[in-house]
Structure 1
Amino acid sequence: MSAVKIVCLNGWGGKLYQDLLPFVESAAPDILCLQEVVHTPASAKDWLTYRDGDHILPQRANFFRDVSMALPNHVAVFCPAAQGILWDDDQQVPSQWGLATFVHKSIPIIGQAQGFVHKTYSPVGYGDHPRSRSAHGVRVYDYAASRAISVTHMHGLRDLRGKMDTPDRADQAHKLLDLSRQVSEPDDVVVICGDFNVEPDSETLSILSTAGLSELVTGRNFSSTRNSHYKKPGKFADYMLINDTEAVQGFNVLYEPEVSDHCPLVLTL
Structure 2
Amino acid sequence: MKIMCLNGWGGTLYEDLLPYLSHTVPDVLCLQEVVHSPATEKDWLTYRDGDHILPQRANFFRDVCRALPDHVATFCPAAQGVLWDEEVQIPSQWGLATFVHKSLPVIGQVQGFVHKEYSPVGYGDHPRSRSAHAVRVFDYGLDRAVSITHMHGLRDLNGKMDTPERRVQAKRLLALSDAVTCPGDLRVICGDFNVEPASETLEILTHAGLVELVTSRGFESTRNSRYTKPGRFADYLLVSDAAAVRSFDVIQDPEVSDHCPLILEI
TM-score calculated relative to the size of structure 2 = 1.00
Read off the aligned partner of 1:43 and give its amino acid letter.
T
Q: Which ranges in structure 1 are unaligned for 5 or more consecutive residues? A: none
Supply the distance in 2 between the matched residues of 1:164 and 1:246 (Cα, whole angstroms): 31
The residue number in structure 1 matching 2:61 is 64
Matches within 5 A, 1:47-86: 47-86=44-83
Of the three residues 90, 98, 102, the one matched with 1:101 is 98
Map Cα deviations across residues 133-155 of structure 1 (whole Å, 9 max, x no partner).
00000000011111000000000
Matches within 5 A, 1:176-255: 176-255=173-252
The residue number in structure 1 matching 2:118 is 121
Of the three residues 161, 166, 174, the one matched with 2:163 is 166
Give the secondary structure class of the aligned counterpart of 1:193.
strand
Q: Report the Cα offset of residue 257 of structure 1.
A: 0.5
Q: Report the Cα offset of residue 53 of structure 1.
A: 1.4
Is 1:42 aligned with 2:31? no
Read off the aligned partner of 2:117 and give its amino acid letter.
T
Give the secondary structure class of the aligned counterpart of 2:45.
strand
Supply the distance in 2 between the matched residues of 1:206 and 1:57 (Cα, whole angstroms): 34
Give the secondary structure class of the aligned counterpart of 2:243.
helix
Give the secondary structure class of the aligned counterpart of 2:81.
strand
Supply the distance in 1 between the matched residues of 2:7 and 2:142 (Cα, whole angstroms): 29
Is 1:12 aligned with 2:9? yes
Count the aligned residue pairs. Answer: 266
Q: Report the Cα offset of residue 186 of structure 1.
A: 1.3
Identity within the alignment, %: 73
Supply the distance in 2 between the matched residues of 1:52 and 1:230 (Cα, whole angstroms): 20
The residue number in structure 1 matching 2:129 is 132
**Which shifted more, 169-178 or 48-57?**
48-57
Read off the aligned partner of 2:6 and give its amino acid letter.
L
Give the secondary structure class of the aligned counterpart of 1:257.
coil
Supply the distance in 2 between the matched residues of 1:13 and 1:132 (Cα, whole angstroms): 16
TM-score calculated relative to the size of structure 1 = 0.98
Supply the distance in 2 between the matched residues of 1:56 and 1:258 (Cα, whole angstroms): 22
CA RMSD of aligned residues (A): 0.4
Read off the aligned partner of 1:220 and give its amino acid letter.
R
Supply the distance in 1 between the matched residues of 2:183 and 2:209 (Cα, whole angstroms): 12
